[in-house]
Amino acid sequence: MDHLLEVNHLEVNFKTYGGEVKAVRDVSFHVDKGEIMAIVGESGSGKSVTVQTIMGLIPMPPGKINNGEALLHGQDLLKLTKKRMQKVKGSKLSMVFQDPMTSLNPTMKVGKQIEESITTHQRIGKTEVKKRAMEMIRLVGISNPEERYNQYPHEFSGGMRQRIMIAIALACRPELLIADEPTTALDVTIQAQVLDLMKDLKEKMNTSIILITHDLGVVAETAERVAVMYAGVIVESGTVEEIFSNPRHPYTWGLLESIPDVNSEKKERLIPIEGSPPDLFSPPKGCPFAPRCKYAMDVCVEAMPPGFEAEEGHQAKCWLNDPRTPDVEDLIAAGREEY
Amino acid sequence: MYIFKRLITMLVTIWVIASLTFFIMKIIPGDPFASDADVLPEEVLQNIRAKYNLDEPIPVQYALYMKDLATFDLGISIESESRTVNGIIWDGAPASALLGTQAMVIALVFGLLLGIVAALNHNKMLDYFSMFIAIVGISVPSFILAPLLINYFAVDWQLLPVASWGTWQHSILPSVALAATPLAVIARFMRSSMLEVMNQNYIKTADAKGLPTTKLVIRHGIRNAILPVVSFIGPLFVALITGTFVIEKIFAIPGIGRYFVDSIFNRDYPVIMGTTIFFSSILVLTLFLIDISYRFIDPRIKLTSGGD
């Protein structure tokens, strides 16, 4: 089956005064029609850079695409001219950002900001555009759109602004919505509302979603497939069920272990992953997680592990999954015990 | 209500400025006739001083002046006895205002343009070029630039008149000379403001909509970057239209710029007071208009009479 979006061997560097930062290294993943695919990882793991590269939002320079392709319906977005890419952005592919407080133009009525994404791509009359903007405001769950249409962003709360952002992103009914930590800046109850809204609209519009987050709870609730990123590399990917029930990478174990248990009666300390991510100016030649990994072997420091297929569609870049590793199943089982 | 309160505040401000100027002016040693003291007999001096109420105690002088001021009578110049201060201002202000306005327009148009171009080409040739022009504009004083302009455009190439005032050709060189520094200041300010705005998240949002670059820059970039520039345009504009000593002197323009300086050397009390009040009134009024206009250019600002 053809994928809606297929990213292959993407490599993005940033030139800085200190040298070149290798922000994204050999990242491949795909998104199918109508699915929600999550990318999880800590700050600086390269998840935002990955999707912003696909959207053409990374300024080049300092950014530089060293390798890779991003095929939307087989068309490589990374090779499009700026003009052609502008036609794709907003109409087939759109984006919701992390911080709704600063992502809307403060001096423009929100109605106009929604209209703008429609009129950029479609030629339709004034009254018709306004009608559609109102409809979008209603669709994202904001009451009295007539009044809200004429208001400015500062008259909206954070959650409401994120709803407006979603309305802007979905106004042209794109095939793929990229949501870059859409709920990180919102408080918990609003988070749930916004996620529900996105799931709901995904069903209504048959839009696929790439959901970027560092919250595994959000992943479990919304996504169908998930890719775990660490130090610019996708270390494990698979369906949500697989990743949560049968994780094959020590970093994923660590992430799962670190989720605090709300229902726990006794006071428990949070379990962190010891150490810090590698310096991306000169990433290690082996597995980037090896220095922090309890199960690291000699080979881990020496060579980058290839993707080992655990199940159909479930890959883990970890030497523990190599058939030559002794007692691998025991180790993996032991690792899983921990959380 | 807001406007009413502001008007009261403006009057009070002008009154405070007038009072301070009055007393500070009296502290300066000497008086308008100090230089005549050697030649004129004491009785004559007494008579002249009495004519201008200078023989009264200072509080009385102050009260008399305020009484006249309330009826917009700024008195008669001591230096040129035939002229009222109101007349001096009315005669000179139009030329100064026209010159200042032209300079302001030049400074705004080219300053903003230069700043925007520099910001959009951050750290590239055009940026360095624009900022080089700006640095030159700031560092070359107008009394250097003006003679240079005259030398080339008027003397060597004979394109424009050397000096004096009358036709629009006369106003070009002084306007340009006067505009140079504010142009450079505006360019630098606009550049940094624009750089900041273009890094904002909402620019990324607009970019992600697939908006064409020109629309992105105009609607989302310039529109927001110009806001902080507006607030310092006010005082700058006032400084330009109320006359400039150097430029008006070099080009022999019949403006009011020279009275600001001459009146102080001559201890021409009514003219010192008149020019000061004139300047502060226009400044206060312009600031008021700018505040009002903010209401329209920045929707986040609401004019209220009290804090909340």
Contact (CB<8Å) B210/A82: no
- Compute the distance between CA of residue A322 and CA of residue B135 in angstroms, rounded to an integer: 64
pLDDT of residue A335: 60
Taking the C-alpha atoms of residue B281 and residue B260, their distance in angstroms, rounded to an integer, is 15
Contacts of A117 in chain B (CB under 8 A): 209-210
- C-alpha distances (whole Å) from B248 to each of A219, A334, B77, B178, B263 are 72, 89, 20, 10, 15
**Measured distance CA(B204)–CA(B215) in Å, rounded:** 13
- In chain B, the residue whose alpha carbon lies closest to the alpha carbon of A172 is B209
Task: Give residue B253's pLDDT.
Answer: 87
A336 pLDDT band, cuts 50/70/90, is: low
Residue of B nearest to A88 (CA): B210
Min Cα–Cα distance to chain A from B211, Å: 6
Q: How far is CA B98 from CA B94, B161, B168, in A?
A: 6, 17, 10
Q: Mean per-residue pLDDT for A86-109? A: 89
Closest alpha carbon to B78 in B88, B69, B64: B88
Q: What is the pLDDT of residue B308?
A: 42
CB contact under 8 A, B208 and A55: yes
pLDDT, average across residues A178-182:
89
Closest CA to A39 of A172, A181, A211: A211
pLDDT at A186 > cutoff 90: no
Shortest CA gap A290–chain B (Å) = 35
- Say what the pLDDT of residue B19 is: 95
Contact (CB<8Å) B209/A105:
no
3-state secondary structure of A182: coil
Given a cut of 70, is residue A172 above it in pLDDT?
A: yes
Q: In the predicted model, is pLDDT for residue B87 greater than 70? A: yes
pLDDT in the model for residue A332: 62
Q: What is the mean pLDDT of chain B?
A: 88
Structure tokens at A11: 């490599």
Task: Please write the tens of the pLDDT for every residue from A62-73.
Answer: 888 888 888 888
Of B163 and B176, which is predicted with more confidence? B176
Q: What is the pLDDT of residue A212?
A: 92
* pLDDT computed for residue B160 by the predictor: 84
Q: Nearest CA of chain B to the CA of A203: how many Å?
A: 22
Counted across chains A and B, CB pairs separated by less than 8 A come out at 81
CA–CA gap between residue B193 and residue A45 (Å, rounded): 31
CA distance B139 to chain A (A): 31
* Share of residues in chain A with pLDDT > 90 (%): 12
- Helix orientation angle between B257-265 and B269-297, rounded to the nearest 10 degrees: 140
A57 with B208: Cβ contact below 8 A: yes
Cβ pair A90:B219 closer than 8 A:
no
Please state the domain extents for chain B. 93-259
- The partner residue sitting opposite A87, judged by closest CB among B210, B223, B224, is B210
- A76-99: average pLDDT: 87
Range name among A275-289, B29-43, B235-249 with the lowest pLDDT average: B29-43
Chain-wide mean pLDDT for chain A? Answer: 85
Q: Which of A97-106, A119-128, A264-273 comes out lowest in average pLDDT?
A: A264-273
Task: Tell me which residue in A57, A88, A94 faces B204 most closely, judged by beta carbons.
Answer: A57
| DSSP string over A200-267 | HHHHHHT-EEEEEES-HHHHHHH-SEEEEEETTEEEEEEEHHHHHHS--SHHHHHHHHTS--TT-SS-
Residue B108, pLDDT > 70, answer yes
Nearest to B212 among A55, A86, A88 (CB): A86
Give the pLDDT mean for A23-34: 88
Q: Is the pLDDT of residue A138 over 90?
A: no
Given an 8 Å threshold on Cβ–Cβ distance, is A103 in contact with B204?
yes
Q: pLDDT confidence of B118, banded at 50, 70, 90? A: very high
Residues of B in contact with A89 (CB under 8 A): 207-210
In a mutagenesis test of the A interface, which of B120, B198, B202, B205 is the best target, namely the one with the most A β-carbons within 10 Å? B205
Q: Measure CA of the first residue to CA of the last residue in chain A; give whole Å.
A: 36
pLDDT of residue B307: 44
For A84, A153, B73, B283, B288, the CA distances from B277, given in Å and listed in that order, are 60, 42, 12, 10, 16
Return d(Cα A338, Cα B21) in angstroms, integer: 81
| Amino acid A37: pLDDT | 92
- Nearest alpha carbon to residue B275 among B292, B255, B289, B251: B255
Domain spans, chain A: 101-173, 249-337
Band the pLDDT of A338: cuts 50, 70, 90.
low
Which residues on chain A are in Cβ contact (under 8 Å) with B209?
Answer: 89-90, 94, 116-117, 120, 168
Does any CB of chain A come closer than 8 Å to the CB of residue B211?
yes
* Residue A36, pLDDT above cutoff 70: yes
* B25 in contact with chain A, both atoms CB, cutoff 8 A: no
Q: Give the separation between CA B286 and CA B264, rounded to whole angstroms.
A: 25
Question: Quick one: which H or E segment has residue A166?
Answer: helix A158-170
Q: What is the pLDDT of residue A325?
A: 72
C-alpha to C-alpha distances, A311 to A241, A262, A316, nearest whole angstrom: 12, 31, 10
Q: Kindly list the residues from chain A whose CB atom is less than 8 angstroms away from the CB atom of residue B223.
A: 105, 107-108
For helices B85-120 and B223-241, the axis angle rounded to 10 degrees is: 150
Max mean pLDDT among A174-188, B69-83, B93-107, B155-169 falls in B93-107
pLDDT of A293 reads 83
| Residue-level pLDDT at A190 | 83
- So what's the pLDDT on residue A329? 64
pLDDT at A330: 67
Token pair of A318, please? Answer: 């970890």
Among residues A163, A162, A156, A155, the alpha carbon closest in space to that of A138 is found at A163
The half-sphere exposure of A253 on its side-chain side, counting CA atoms within 13 A, is 22
Q: What are the C-alpha distances in Å from B163 to residues B100, B131, B154, B248, B249?
A: 16, 30, 9, 10, 10
Angle at A213 between CA A101 and CA A208, to 5 degrees: 95
Is residue B171 classed exposed, middle or buried when 0-12, 13-18 and 19+ CB atoms within 10 A define those classes? buried
Q: What are phi and psi of A321, to 5 degrees?
A: -90, 0
Task: Tell me if B174 sits within 8 A of B251, measured CB to CB.
Answer: yes
Q: What is the pLDDT of residues B182-220, one digit of tens each?
A: 999 999 999 999 999 998 989 999 998 988 888 999 989
CATH superfamily of B93-259: MetI-like (1.10.3720.10)
Q: Do B209 and A89 touch (CB under 8 A)?
A: yes
**Strands of the A36-40 sheet, one edge to the other:** A93-96, A176-180, A208-213, A36-40, A225-230, A233-239, A314-316, A308-311
